[in-house]
């Protein structure tokens, strides 16, 4: 039986699950946010508003659907400078500019999401629903949530991945084959899709991969 579904035409809210989801949010460092479930009602969402909770009454079993959407989408607009990214929380015009530029670029890919290891490493919690209509209860909140997620994506590309490459170059990380390289990348919170990234600071990694 479906007992919790915020995004349906007739929303169902299972209050007992909120505490459990809040614990999940804290453990993986995602940010609670407020969404409008009806014109009159706003609710605090610990993780993703798309999570559905089902109960099997005969066995008293509770299970969840769409848990992968707890992890925010990994997306950013390359043309937005790092300086603009740091100003987004203080300057409403900058946030609006980010959203304006997003309209002229590829939309976020729901299959490309941050790894939990990166979320736990990253200093600032991110809204699970970033880049969706459920990322906040007002346009301003949505813009802030999207800008924060975009800043995390930029940090991953411009800071975190290059620092991982330096560890490879300095032999602080010594994978012996593609399997152990995958393990090390995942441990660092880096998705394997970044093996093909075209970025000048990753030339060492591209060269390194040719030995396998």
Rg for the chain (alpha carbons), in Å?
19
Beta bridge partners of 65: 52
pLDDT at 82: 47
**In 3-state terms, what secondary structure has residue 63?**
strand
- Is residue 150 within 8 A of residue 94, CB to CB? The reply is no
- Residue 120's Cβ-count burial label (10 Å; 0-12, 13-18, 19+) is exposed
pLDDT at 104: 45
Which contiguous run of DSSP H or E holds residue 166? helix 161-169
- Taking the whole predicted model, whether its pTM rises above 0.95 is answered as no
Q: What strands, in cross-sheet order, belong to the sheet with 61-65? A: 2-4, 52-56, 61-65
**pLDDT tens for the chain, residues 1 to 212:** 888 889 888 888 887 777 888 898 999 999 999 999 888 888 889 999 999 999 898 998 988 899 999 999 999 877 654 444 444 444 444 455 555 555 545 688 999 999 999 999 999 999 999 999 999 999 999 999 999 999 999 999 989 988 988 887 776 777 778 888 889 899 999 999 888 664 455 555 555 555 45
Instruction: Count Cβ atoms below 10 Å from residue 61 Cβ, excluding itself.
Output: 9
E strands, 37-179, are: 42-45, 52-56, 61-65, 126-127
Query: Which residue is listed with tokens 């890919």?
Result: 109
- Is residue 147 within 8 A of residue 88, CB to CB? The reply is yes
């Amino acid at each position: 039986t479906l007992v919790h579904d915020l995004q349906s035409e007739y929303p169902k809210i299972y209050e007992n699950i909120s505490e459990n989801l809040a614990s999940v949010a804290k453990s993986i460092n995602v940010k609670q946010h407020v969404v409008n479930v009806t014109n009159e009602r706003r609710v605090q969402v610990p993780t993703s508003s798309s999570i559905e909770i089902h109960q099997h009454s005969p066995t008293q079993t509770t299970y969840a659907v769409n848990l992968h959407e707890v992890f925010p989408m990994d997306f950013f607009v390359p043309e937005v400078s790092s300086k603009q990214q740091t100003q987004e929380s203080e300057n409403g015009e900058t946030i609006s500019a980010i959203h304006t530029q997003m309209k002229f670029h590829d939309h976020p890919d729901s299959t490309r999401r941050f790894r939990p290891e990166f979320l736990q490493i990253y200093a600032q919690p991110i809204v699970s629903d970033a880049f969706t209509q459920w990322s906040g209860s007002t346009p301003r909140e949505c813009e802030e949530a999207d800008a924060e997620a975009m800043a995390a994506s930029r940090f991953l590309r411009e800071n975190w991945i290059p620092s991982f490459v330096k560890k490879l170059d300095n032999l602080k990380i010594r994978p012996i084959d593609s399997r152990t390289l995958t393990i090390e990348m995942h441990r660092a919170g880096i998705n394997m899709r970044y093996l093909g990234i075209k970025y000048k600071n990753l030339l060492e990694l591209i060269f390194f991969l040719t030995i396998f």
